[in-house]
Amino acid sequence: MKIKVIKNKKTLETRVEYFKVDDKSAFRFKLLKEALFDIDSQTILIIDTNQLIKRITNEDIEEILNNAGIGYTAFSIAPKADNLVGIRIDKMKKKKKKNETLYIIKISYDSWSKEVFDAFFQYCDLAFCINAKKTQEEIIDILRMDSLDEMMFDEEYFENYIYDSIVCETIRSSVDIQNYV
């Protein structure tokens, strides 16, 4: 299992690249469970349904969360324009982008189960926002105006973050997660 851990000395951010890991699901589940629940914090998970590696309907997502007894808030936002080197490429596409659905999920040690992870979370980019500095309503309003990326990595909104991108096979964290790898 080859894992690359990079510590940015200037920002103190830790990045873990796991693209050479054979069982990515097991690796992600174990690392995130250990790292998240060693932190004494209030953690919410934000999932963007446009960042999935396997298509899952919103109805299926909500059924999985409801069956597991996990509380969530779901809301739609208009898709953001795609830009490439400053050029809007969404106008060149024939297909219109669908509205995105974002899920804000309250995470606890008990709700973070392997069954739920395997059924749904393993297919998603996972944005763990630790100790919010705004109310959930303010966070939703901000998400409707700005992108999750802009808000998540800004200390104005959260004390810390752990962003696990299955799409990029990388974890980016303001928390030192080196000891959990």
Per-residue pLDDT of the chain (181 residues; tens, 9 = 90+): 689 999 999 989 999 999 999 999 999 999 999 888 877 678 889 998 877 889 889 999 999 999 999 999 998 877 655 544 445 455 555 555 567 788 999 888 777 889 999 999 999 999 999 988 998 889 888 888 877 777 888 889 999 999 999 989 999 999 889 888 8
CA–CA–CA angle 79, 162, 15 (5° rounding): 105
pTM of the model: 0.84
State the Rg of the chain over Cα: 16
Q: What pLDDT score was predicted for residue 84?
A: 41
CA–CA–CA angle 145, 162, 135 (5° rounding): 45
Phi, psi of 61 (to 5 degrees): -60, -50
Could you tell me which CATH class the domain 41-165 is placed in?
alpha beta
Domain boundaries, the chain: 41-165
DSSP, collapsed to helix, strand or coil, labels residue 46 as strand
